[in-house]
Structure formats: structure tokens, C-alpha cells
Structure 1
Amino acid sequence: MTQQPGKVTMATDGHIAVITVDNQAKRNAYSPDMMDQLATHLTTFDEDDGLWVAVLCSAGEHTTGGLDMPKFFGPDATWKGVPEDKVDPFGLGRRTDKPVVAVVQGITFTVGIEIALAADIVVAADTARFAQIESRRGIAPLGGAHFRYLARTGWGNAMYHLMLCDEFDAERALELGFVQEVVPYGRHIDRALELARAICKNAPLGLRATKRAARSYLEAAERAAIAEIPAIRAQVFASEDFKEGIQSFVERREANFQGR
């Protein structure tokens, strides 16, 4: 039987757009096509005046194990990045002024954290497990973790998790400010929809103006941090450790880094 490729779908519930990532056979790992689909749905949401709030969730037990790394970073990589005319799921390019509620559960690694932190409110199931593990694979976070960890939790906590590349649970994520609520698994998507419906009771233009104004407070620092991403790429992608990290991922073994 041919395995079905992962997909990202969008359904509507009144003024709410429900965007669902589904690649359960691979723990919802993102392919380049899935990332493009996500950006397309977020753009559709942003441009539809009848849609006021988005709920971004993942099917099954896990949010995501991360990227399908060889397709993004290997010699046969096909992803070219988010086009400038589409809403960037990482909030590094075009953004939406509309409210976005993210939902996480189970394995929520690397880009799963970064996409959630680019949203406005995050609801976590009590099963959620987080880890920013790019540096275990010879690369570095490229989706905003290098500055959003700082914005949410301060230098020491940010460096603790970015440098250890450790795993932490939903209660720790709540303590850090990465998530705003922790609910029992099975209630996580329903709770996000409840919040979205409550948000829809408020004036949408007022909410968008509030989000836009709040973001303006952070934008100067964020622009500087985003401008560093090409230098991060240049430094790590040219290294022997990068090649070793990708190879160890393909071979499913621990990497042996040499610092060069």
C-alpha cells in the first residue's frame, strides 16, 4: 500500500478557521509541501474578511517531530522558503493581524515550538513534550526560537533550553510562558475552539489593532534578530558538523561533532 503524503487542511466554523496538520505516520513531520500548504491556508485566513480567528492544530497524538530534515537541509533539499506574498507560519516575514490560537500535544519539537510561539495564544495538552534540538543535528534554530525564547522567558531560561537541547513537559512550558493553558489530552482542541469563540465575541477590528500595536513594540528587536538568520545559515551550513548532523539523522544514530 502506498503511504499517503502528509497534508494541511483548513475548515471553517463560523468566523473561525481550523487549520490542521496531518502526517501521523511520521509524527506530523513537515515536508516542504506541507509547509507551503500551511502558509497558503494562513494567507487565505488572513485575506478572508469573514474569518476572524484561526485555530492551528495537529491530528493525532503529536504536534510534530519537526522537519523532514533531508528535504529541507540535505543535498537534495527542495524547500525554497515561504514566499514573501504568503503569511509566514514562523512570523518571520508576512504576518497576520488576526488572532491565532495554537494547540500542542505529545511530541512538540523544533518547528512545532517555533510555529506555536509565532501564534498569540497556545493551549497545551498535558501530554505535550517540548525540545529545541536543532543543535543536536549540527544546525541551529532558524524559525525564531533564538529570539522568541528570550521574549517569553528571559536570557537564563532561554539559554538553558537552547543550549541543553533538553526535553521539558507542559507544566514547564506553562511556567516559561510558552503556553497559556494546560488541559487534559482530548480536551486540547475543544478548549482552543472555546477560546476562539470567546475571542469572536469581541470587535475584530479592535483586536487586530491591538495585536498590530503590541507587535510594534517588539518589531525593532525582532527585525534585528531576523536579519541574523542568513548569518546563522552561513555559519552552520558550511560546517563539517552540519554534514555529520544530517548523516546521523538519516542513519538514526547519535552525532559525533568536532566543532568545525
Structure 2
Amino acid sequence: MTDTHAENNIHPQGSIDTEVRGHVLLIAINRPNKRNGFTPKMYRELGEAYTRLDDDPTLRVGLLHAKGAHFTAGLDLPSIAPLMRRGEKAVPLGLVDPCDLGIAGYRRRVKPMVVAVQGITYTLGIELMLAADIVVAADDCRFSQLEVKRGIMATGGATLRMAERAGLGNAMLHLLTGDVFDAAEALRLNFVQKVVPVGLELETALTIANAIAAQAPLAVVATRLNVLKAVEHGPVVAMHEFIDTQQRLSNSDDAKEGVQSFVEKRDARFTGR
């Protein structure tokens, strides 16, 4: 994983490049000559980047995007298949799982993740979207969860999250046929939140990420985790956290700053404490 702005000198196995802009960590998939197909090296570096986001207190939001015309064609099967046959994962234990599945030995991401997608967005690409929080899609996107065409099953979260987002029938339609669908269908299915003209997806996603980063970090994380708890464990379970969480947040420096900025009629300056 490298901090870089360059698009040339691409590693043959691809790379995950990172760049910090303010409180936002931009995470770039960089193997455009292979439609950003994920090798084990890239998947490991993606886990490292997600872990960096959560561990660095100066970072508040992640933004996943891709170099070139396509987000990703998915896994590079020739390089990934040996791991799959051995039942191994490319992301080392102890790191944040980019698919956020809660598998034993892996951390779940705490901070928000925004994703910008364009062009081909297949298999793992969809699963990374569904594991994130907000997705901006270019209007040239082509989506496909096509594992059944390769004799395997989607195991990065599509079988869990497609039905939750779009309903059982819609999930089965795309999971069992492996068909290709467009950005308008992805928006209808609630897989993406915004569709914009191609070329504007990263700018739009960065605007959203910066808007999130401007809010109180502790409150953003608490809100995100409570929503996920409601989805995964039910609203009653999530509701039981309301009083304790609100008490903890209300005693933070940021809550005091929120009140003071309201009184003084100015933008708040949050510190994450």
C-alpha cells in the first residue's frame, strides 16, 4: 500500500494507493490495465488501508474509488483461486475486513466509508459497495454478481445484503442469473444512493465524505454503529443503547462545542473528543 498521486509505474499485481485530504482517507484501486481485478496483494493492501482509517485518530471518513475507466471486474480468479481452494483469505487476521462480515479474527470497520464507482463493477465490487455506507455511481456503470457463472458462490456479503436492500425476489433475480444491470437498476435496488454523469462520481463522493468529516466524529461513529445494529440485530436491540450512548456523547467535548457553536451562531469545530 502506497501513498501516491501517480497513475503510471503500476505494479503488475496492482496496488491500493492512499491519499489524505483533510480528515478523509482516499483509497484508490490501481490496476486499470486489468480492469482493476483484485489480486491477493491488492486485497491485503485494501485491508491495511481500511485498518489505517480506523486506527488513525486524524482520519474520520474513508473514500474508496478506482483508477481508470472501471471500478473493478472483481477477483482475479487465477491468482485468488488457490487461496479459495485452501479455504484461506487474502486479508491477514487482525485487520479490518473490507467486506465487514464479522468473521472471527477480523475487525469490523468503525468509521464511515463512501464509495465512488464507474464502468464495470462486478462481484467483489458490488460487495465492497454493499459493505460501505454511501455509494455514488457514474451513469455508465455495469453491475454483475456473476459467481454462479464461474461455479462458485458470492461470499463477500452479496447473499446477505442484496435481499436486505432490495427484497428476496430482486436479490434472487441478480444472484441466480449473474446478469448485467445498469446504474438505474442499482439505484432502484438501493445498492447505490446517487447516480451522476460519468466523471463526476469521485467529486460527488468527496463532497459527501467532507460533509460527514465536518460533523462530530464520536456522534457519527455512534450513529453509524446504531443503524447497523438495528439492521443486523433488530430495532429493539439497537434502542436499548440509546440512553447510555446519548449520555456518553453528551459528556464529550464535541457535545459542549456543539452547544457553544449553536449559541454563538457559528460552525462547530469538532475535535473527536
Do Structure 1 and Structure 2 share a fold, with TM-score over 0.5? yes
Q: Which residue of 1 aligns with 2:125?
A: 112
Q: CA deviation at 1:84?
A: 3.2
Q: Does structure 1 retain, via aligned residues, the 8 Å contact 2:10–2:30? A: no
Gaps (5+ residues) in structure 2?
Answer: 1-8, 235-273
Q: CA deviation at 1:182?
A: 0.5
Q: CA deviation at 1:85?
A: 1.2
After TM superposition, list the pairs within 5 Å mapping 1:204-219 onto structure 2: 204-219=217-232
CA–CA distance in 2 between the matches of 1:3 and 1:123?
Answer: 27
Q: CA deviation at 1:150?
A: 0.8
- Indicate whether 1:7 and 2:15 are aligned: yes
* One-letter code aligned to 1:165: G
Q: Which residue of 1 aligns with 2:147?
A: 134
Q: TM-score when scaled to structure 1?
A: 0.81
Q: 1:150 aligns with which of 163, 175, 197?
A: 163
Gaps (5+ residues) in structure 1?
Answer: 222-260
Q: Secondary structure at the match of 1:179?
A: coil
Q: CA deviation at 1:199?
A: 1.0
Q: Which residue of 1 aligns with 2:180?
A: 167
Alignment CA distance shift 1:187-1:139 (3 Å) = same
Q: Secondary structure at the match of 1:202?
A: coil
Q: 2:37 aligns with which of 22, 29, 35?
A: 29
Q: Does structure 2 retain, via aligned residues, the 8 Å contact 1:23–1:29? A: yes
Q: Which residue of 1 aligns with 2:137?
A: 124
CA–CA distance in 2 between the matches of 1:174 and 1:85?
Answer: 34
CA–CA distance in 2 between the matches of 1:151 and 1:75?
Answer: 29
Q: Secondary structure at the match of 1:196?
A: helix
- Indicate whether 1:88 and 2:97 are aligned: yes
Alignment CA distance shift 1:131-1:17 (3 Å) = same
% same residue: 44
* One-letter code aligned to 1:89: P
CA–CA distance in 2 between the matches of 1:216 and 1:197?
Answer: 25
Q: Which residue of 2 aligns with 1:103?
A: 116
Q: Does structure 2 retain, via aligned residues, the 8 Å contact 1:173–1:179? A: yes
Q: Secondary structure at the match of 1:206?
A: helix
Q: Which residue of 2 aligns with 1:187?
A: 200
Name the larger-Rg structure: 2
CA–CA distance in 1 between the matches of 2:92 and 2:84?
Answer: 20
Alignment CA distance shift 1:76-1:121 (3 Å) = closer
Q: CA deviation at 1:83?
A: 2.7
- 78-87 or 15-24, larger mean C-alpha shift: 78-87
CA–CA distance in 1 between the matches of 2:168 and 2:10?
Answer: 47
Q: CA RMSD in A?
A: 2.0
Q: CA deviation at 1:4?
A: 3.1
Q: Which residue of 1 aligns with 2:238?
A: none
Q: Does structure 2 retain, via aligned residues, the 8 Å contact 1:150–1:158? A: yes
Q: Which residue of 1 aligns with 2:75?
A: 67
- What is the aligned residue count? 221
Q: CA deviation at 1:75?
A: 8.1
Q: Which residue of 2 aligns with 1:56?
A: 64
Q: CA deviation at 1:15?
A: 0.3
Q: Secondary structure at the match of 2:163?
A: helix
Q: Which residue of 1 aligns with 2:246?
A: none
Alignment CA distance shift 1:21-1:92 (3 Å) = same
Q: Does structure 1 retain, via aligned residues, the 8 Å contact 2:139–2:197? A: yes
CA–CA distance in 1 between the matches of 2:194 and 2:158?
Answer: 20
Alignment CA distance shift 1:197-1:75 (3 Å) = closer
* One-letter code aligned to 2:23: H
Q: TM-score when scaled to structure 2?
A: 0.77
